A and B are shown apart, each in its own frame.
Chain A
Amino acid sequence: MSQQNISADAQPNVKYNQVGKSLTRTDAPGKAAGRTPYAGDYVMPGMLHMRVVRADIASAKLTRLDVTKARALPGVVCILTADDVAGREAATDIPGQTGQKRMDTDQQILVHERVKYYGEPIALIAAESRDVANAALELVEFDLEPIPGVYDPEEAMKPGSPIVQGIDNIVAEHKIRKGDPEKALAEADLVIENTFHTPFQEHAFLEPEVGLAWTDENEVVNIRVSTQVIEHFRAIADAIGVPHNKVRIRGALVGGGFGGKEDVTVEIYLALMAKATGRPVRLEYTREDSFVGHGKRHPFKLTYKTGVTRDGRITGMDVYILADSGAYVFLSPYVLLYGAVAAPGPYKVENLNVYAQAVATNNMFTSAFRGFGGMQACAAYEQQMDEVAKALDMDPIEFRRRNYLKTGEAISTGFVPPSAIWTEECVDKAWAALGEPTVSSDHIKIGQGIAAYQQSYGRLTFLHDTSECWVGVEMDGTVIVRSGVTDIGAGQISALGQIAVEVLGVTLENVVIYNSDSAVTPLAGTTTATRALYMTGNAAKMAAEAVRERLSERAAREFDVQVDQIHMAFNVVSVIDNPDKSMAFVDLVKICASEGIHRSELSMFRAPFSDYLNPETGQGQAHPDYVYGAQAIEVAVDTDTGEVEVLKSIAAHDIGQCINKAAVEGQIEGGTQNGQGYALSEEMLYEEGKLVTPSFSEYLMPTSMDMPKVQTILLESRSGLGPFGSKGIGEPALTPVAPAIANAVANAIGVRIFELPITPERIIKALKEKQAAN
């Protein structure tokens, strides 16, 4: 199907038997019954319990560490400090299978001398019981001598500032240039400049980091852990000094990830302690450990200069992005790159200059979070679009309409996405569904807002991403799928089952999926970057198709017809032109088994591979493809209290093709919640690097009282690179939510708040300033 022929009014797909339906996910009944074991639910005989001793100052020198009293406590078995891991560091660079990493990105495993962030681990305790481990935590004595720190990226770039990383704290820079932006801005009828601030955000998965490790009879360190990336086994092996085949990660179904379980969390601590004690060890973070123990979403400062003609065409754009990487590098360079590539949004900008920097501070380190830089950019560019429209006295949607990037046109890097770009269709449908605004009353002001976006799916193409999956048919006609993919709650493994049974013509209750074991399931890569369906889904489809081909050939001989006459659906094999000729799927399988026809296949899917972008111009390919869509929001703002209520939340996304419709809607509804929290209530308050909001009673994510029923509009261009033309929805679901809310609030109260979250305090302040100005 050519891109240009795709109509947004295409009917829902009717040719599939399994794909596209809201089937009950394979993992759901076990979870509902409380039968699904999570990583924290495993125990072993003789198991020890761990705790982590953490620094309580963000920038300091460790001048004394005395574990004598803690070691003397009955029941304490082992305490590890930096002396026990001398010479060892942990990689923080991009996870996965590339086998390469950048220099200077390693992190000390335990504080040797210098503390760089609040909560940095100093010692590991293992004891016979939780109670003893908790008591020992209080007995570890240490002195921290404060060292001047830096907590603002702009300060951190100034000469003479305390150095946290490298020679100047700048840990990453990216440039994107096309056309002649200086000339375009100079000649524009109007140039609008604004600066937007986006905040830290906590993933707040309900299951804190947890794992259980033991050394087996082959001297392999086994780690049962809640993770998005089982392929960290290599980095863990490097960190503890054993060959890669001596660490095995056995995942479990994950109690939420959102990027927060993309980096290594508890694994290295567990592996070190299992090696040191020779006993099984369990480490479960408390909620406070979780708040201070894993990287956050990067705060961005984004300055946009947009040049336009009087009739509302963007002629040029200049964007400066400054990201706070916190105390260690982690994935900052990649998050920053996503932000830079996304900077102009889903709009055609021929003359573009983007300059982006990530800077180290003594704040909590920042790393992957659903949206990964692309959503921070969207938070700015979509507010800027409304501000430019306001300056032009033009309807915000009409202004966008004059500038949409269309199917077949190049994005910021000069790359032409291979799929459909349906921004306009999504915006129009979401806005139409929002309807006429509710009527404002005295102090309750109603506002409506829209935001469109562009978000990648699949990893950066210069990482040369691959994914494997095995599909086999048992002799009774049941199906087994094996893949290393981790399931972090989005239905990743159930989707593989749905794909396999669609291809093989059986039904979902006949499939069992084994996943997430780095030693025995084929490695599938990370569950990150909106890549699991695209990558592993394609691998599953390839494997299932290879099996189907062999089965079909045998069936064609049985029925004496051509192979393309064979139809397989709902556990029956039949001839298309002569449906009377049919047999049960299981009977065909039995014939194949007796004749030694291979009933399984291991397939590898490879994403498009590219070189790194041109370092001066940023031109080239960054991602395999992109997702487009929009969010429409209606809010009520109480001008007496500053409180915002989201009345309507409508999401329209071109997801290419649904695999499981309810699961797609679920991703969108949950992404909407995450974005609403980011826009309005989720606030991580740091005082000199110390987090002062480390609990769910202080860090406020939306509850059942705060969320409207989210309305989802699904468009299926069937133009994506995923199986059956699918794209991906994990990250895109979240991307446009916050700016749509910000635009709705600005529409309601007539003044924009340039810093998220838009708290009641900020609204009252803005209203007072507006009143004073009038």
Chain B
Amino acid sequence: MSSPKKITLRINGVNETLEAPAHRTLLEALRDLGHVEVKCGCEKGDCGACAVSIDGVAVDSCLTLAWMVEGREITTVSGLGDIENPHPLQKSFSDLGAIQCGYCTPGMIMASKSVIDRNPNPTDDDIRVGLSGNLCRCTGYTKIFEAVQDAASVMRGEGDKQ
């Protein structure tokens, strides 16, 4: 076990510091800092529940060591919006029934954002591929696909299709 050292992470636009050994994963570090919106599902990179954005790209925080992302921009689902002012993805997921137990949702929304950031007008296949690292056991993905398309159209300025 390595000795702890001070790590500074930039999370949702704010610098936060923790003492952690070199093997501390970003998932553990974020949760230890109170960012419990980042969920732990498998700690092996199989399920995507812990996905966060690092410099705009969705990654599994359980496969990322905390010290390796010092100085990078880390965004969690709570960094996208809140209940009063939700991000279009948060609103579409909510309103279209794409959330059931909700445990995969924080990672699923971050992966969805990555898909739309890469291609503002994604095809259904783009969405399938983009979300293939994020497991959901409740929804069968049908309403998630619809929510991502709906949010993408809102983000393109085409208004709410609901």
**Contacts from A to B (Cβ < 8 Å):** 22, 24-25, 27-38, 40-41, 130-131, 135, 203-208, 253-258, 284, 286-287, 488-491, 662-663, 665-666, 669-674, 695-697, 701-705, 707, 709-710
Contact = CB atoms under 8 A, between A and B. Distances in A.
Contacts of B134: 704
Contacts of B36: 37-38, 40-41
A709 B99 CA distance: 16
A38 B43 contact: no
B97 A40 contact: no
Contact of B140 (A27, A203, A672, A696): A672
Interface string B86-101: 1001110111110111
A207 B41 contact: yes
A287 B109 CA distance: 22
A673 B129 contact: no
Contacts of B83: 29-30, 33, 35
Contacts of A207: 39, 41, 101, 103
B161 interface: no
Closest 3 pairs (CB-CB, A-B)? A34-B37, A489-B101, A31-B102
A204 B106 CA distance: 18
B101 A35 contact: no
20 contacts: A27-B99, A33-B81, A34-B37, A35-B82, A38-B103, A207-B39, A255-B39, A255-B101, A255-B103, A258-B137, A287-B41, A662-B97, A666-B143, A669-B141, A669-B142, A670-B137, A673-B139, A696-B42, A701-B135, A704-B128
A29 B39 contact: no
A706 to B, nearest CB: 9
Interface string B112-150: 000000000000000111011011111111111100000
Given A31-B105, A32-B91, A34-B78, 18 more contacts: A25-B94, A27-B102, A28-B94, A32-B105, A34-B38, A203-B137, A253-B101, A255-B101, A489-B138, A670-B137, A673-B139, A695-B44, A696-B42, A696-B46, A696-B135, A703-B131, A704-B132, A704-B144
Nearest to B131: A704
Nearest to B85: A33
Nearest to B101: A489
A484 B41 CA distance: 26
Nearest to A30: B83
Contacts of A36: 102
Given A131-B1, A207-B39, A710 B137 contact: no
Chain B contact-residue range equals: 35 or more
A709 B38 CA distance: 28
B137 A674 contact: yes
Contact of A256 (B44, B97, B106, B137): B137
A206 B41 contact: yes
A670 B102 contact: no
Nearest to A671: B140
A670 B104 CA distance: 13
Interface of B: 1, 21, 28, 36-44, 46-47, 49, 76-78, 81-83, 86, 89-91, 93-97, 99-106, 109, 127-129, 131-132, 134-145
Nearest to A711: B142
Chain A interface mostly helix, strand, loop or mixed?
loop
Nearest to A661: B97
Given A33-B83, A40-B40, A666 B21 contact: no
Contact of A32 (B40, B49, B109, B132): B109
A284 B86 contact: no
A666 B101 contact: no
Nearest to A491: B100
A203 B101 CA distance: 14
A516 to B, nearest CB: 14
Given A30-B83, A34-B106, A206 B101 contact: yes
A370 to B, nearest CB: 10
Contact of A665 (B1, B21, B143, B144): B143
Contacts of A253: 101-102
A665 to B, nearest CB: 7
Nearest to A31: B102
A33 B77 contact: yes
Contacts of B76: 34
Contacts of B96: 662
A286 B42 CA distance: 7
B105 A205 contact: no
B99 A697 contact: no
B140 A670 contact: yes
Nearest to A668: B140
Contacts of B101: 205-207, 253-257, 488-489
Tell which of A28, A204, A662, A709 has the most Cβ of chain B within 10 Å: A28
B132 A256 contact: no
Contacts of B142: 665, 669, 707, 709-710
A256 B99 contact: no
Contacts of A709: 142, 145
B44 A204 contact: no
Contacts of A665: 97, 142-143
Contacts of A672: 140
Contact of A25 (B97, B103, B104, B109): B97
Contacts of A33: 37, 77-78, 81-83, 86, 90
Contact of B137 (A28, A30, A205): A205
B100 to A, nearest CB: 4
A36 B103 CA distance: 10
B137 A204 contact: yes
Contact of B37 (A28, A35, A255): A35
Contacts of B132: 703-705
Contact of A206 (B43, B91, B94, B103): B103
Contacts of B89: 32
Given A34-B37, A704-B131, A705-B132, A206 B137 contact: yes
A673 B141 CA distance: 8
B7 to A, nearest CB: 15
Contacts of A35: 37, 78, 82-83
B47 to A, nearest CB: 5
B26 to A, nearest CB: 15
Residue of B91, B97, B139 ringed by the most chain A CB atoms within 10 A = B97
Contacts of A30: 83
Contacts of B103: 38, 205-207, 255-256, 489
A670 B90 contact: no
B100 A490 contact: yes
Contacts of B144: 704
Contact of A704 (B28, B43, B141): B141
A25 B99 contact: yes
Nearest to A672: B140
Contacts of A131: 1, 21
Given A131-B21, A206-B101, A666-B100, A673 B46 contact: no
